[in-house]
Structure 1
Amino acid sequence: MTQDGEILRFDAERGFGFIATADGQRNIFFHVRDFRSDALPRVGERVRFERIDVGGKGPRAMAVQPLAGARQSGVNAPGRATPAQRPADRPARSQPSRNASAPSRRDSGSNDHRRAHEPQGLDGQPVLFVVALLVWIGLLATLTWRGAWPVSAVAVLGGLALLNAATFMAYAFDKSAAEQGRWRTAESTLHSLALLGGWPAAWLAQRALRHKSRKQPFLSIYVATIVLHLGALAALLWRAS
């Protein structure tokens, strides 16, 4: 069902928001990937969308597209007429300078959109990730060759493989929960998984799922977990020397 509404809230970091309509519905969920514009959604922006009802999860807006020229609609001010409703009693004035600058604004909006989705941290520095990964593999191989593990090497390496699989699944679950408005995975849990050795899968999940790849405080702690994990392995190797 096609409806018009106004963006009530939008979380740029998580990539989702809510739309309100003039008939009083104020929590229609939408995701940024369903927003058909080069620019990011803005609070107060008028939009048209296809409403679907997901069983047990409430309404959701798909194919969300801005309504040009319609800002501050009747959702906040029911008695105010929209531009389409005002009488056309005055001739349209020529505005060549505005029209001439429109491509520039579109280009600027497109650039802002691309910058907002550019990866940061190790996700945007694959060379640093490769270096960290090679150091990690080297430490694991050396510890295994010297028999320096406190338990069986098979158990340690197998546990790391399972831990990385669990880490990727945790990111995927959190991404799905963010899109559907469900209970999220605590960031402390994601950091704990990375610290224990799941940081390679965390990097892969950030890159493949486009999740937690732009939140700078989270990425700073994530990098710290990598440094601490590698430091712990180096300390274990030093004690065995």
Structure 2
Amino acid sequence: MRLAGRISGWNDDKGYGFVTPHGGGERVFVHIKAFHPGSRRPAEGDLISYAVTRDARGRGNATGVRFAGQRIERRTPKTPPARMPRMLLGSVVLLAVVLGTALGFLPLVVALACLLPSFLSYLMYWTDKEAAQRGAQRIPESTLHLLDLLGGWPGALVAQQQFRHKTAKASFQFAFWCSVLANIAIVAWLVRSGIARSLTDALLGV
């Protein structure tokens, strides 16, 4: 049950006072922390509404305090921003490279240049995450970016989500996606120019 009363004996320096209910009754203790978040500072004589609880010694304390006429806004929970499905994206790219190579759309050298660096990149992100948690020596970001540029970015995407590593640092992510775009452009040029096919033939001794 909520009561209405006025604040009396308020000590603003210490942040507490008492409230006397209208119509008489028990005067109870009221603390600044009992007021609704965002409320103004109380003052002597303020009209408030409140509920009463009892402490271990049976003394009354005002809780859920509101000023007379104060409207309490209900905050709508914010919907968290959608997260990029990094693991899914990285896995799809790796699968596409494997299938493209198996079906003859991509030269073998492209698959090797993607799968091997991706595996190494995954291990490096994992190692760097472990080092960060232990306070040990970290892997330089330039090394991670270089490996991503060389084709390891699909494995990096998987590791970033799985280990929750390097996803919140804006400067790192900017450099990461620049390396992704650069790698895609280089691979596309190697495939279209026929260089990738020639390298594959040389590797297989054709």
Normalising by the residue count of structure 1, what TM-score does the alignment of the two structures yield? 0.44
Query: Is the aligned partner of 1:211 residue 2:165?
Result: yes
1:179/1:100 CA distance change after superposition, 3 Å: same
Query: Is the aligned partner of 1:185 residue 2:144?
Result: no
2:35 corresponds, among 84, 99, 122, to: 99
SS at match of 2:37: helix
Residue-by-residue CA offset, 1:176-213 (whole Å, 9 max, x unaligned): 11111111000011111111111111111111111100
Query: Is the aligned partner of 1:195 residue 2:149?
Result: yes
Displacement of 1:235? 0.5
Q: What is the letter of the counterpart of residue 206 of structure 1? A: Q
1:161/1:131 CA distance change after superposition, 3 Å: closer
Q: 1: distance between equivalents of 2:122 and 2:90? A: 21
- Structure 1: unaligned runs, 5 residues or longer: 1-89
SS at match of 2:36: helix
Aligned-residue Cα RMSD (Å) equals 4.3
Q: What is the letter of the counterpart of residue 179 of structure 1? A: Q
Q: 1: distance between equivalents of 2:140 and 2:121? A: 13
Query: Is the aligned partner of 1:167 residue 2:121?
Result: yes
Displacement of 1:169? 1.2
Q: What is the letter of the counterpart of residue 100 of structure 2? A: A
1:140/1:219 CA distance change after superposition, 3 Å: farther
Q: 1: distance between equivalents of 2:94 and 2:118? A: 17
Displacement of 1:225? 0.9
Query: Is the aligned partner of 1:226 residue 2:162?
Result: no
1:141 corresponds, among 68, 87, 100, to: 100
SS at match of 1:176: helix
CA contact (8 A) 1:168 1:202 kept: yes
Mean CA deviation greater in 134-143 or 175-184: 134-143
Displacement of 1:226? 0.9
Displacement of 1:165? 1.8
Residue-by-residue CA offset, 1:122-153 (whole Å, 9 max, x unaligned): xx3339x7499559936982798267x5xxx2
CA contact (8 A) 2:117 2:152 kept: yes
Displacement of 1:160? 3.3
Q: 1: distance between equivalents of 2:91 and 2:118? A: 16
Q: What is the letter of the counterpart of residue 85 of structure 2? A: P
Displacement of 1:95? 4.0
SS at match of 2:171: helix
Residue-by-residue CA offset, 1:50-75 (whole Å, 9 max, x unaligned): xxxxxxxxxxxxxxxxxxxxxxxxxx
Q: 1: distance between equivalents of 2:93 and 2:130? A: 31
Displacement of 1:98? 5.6
Q: 1: distance between equivalents of 2:126 and 2:146? A: 16
Q: 1:85 maps to which residue? A: none
Normalising by the residue count of structure 2, what TM-score does the alignment of the two structures yield? 0.50
- Give the greater-gyration-radius structure (CA): 2
1:125 corresponds, among 69, 84, 87, to: 84
Q: 2: distance between equivalents of 1:131 and 1:213? A: 14
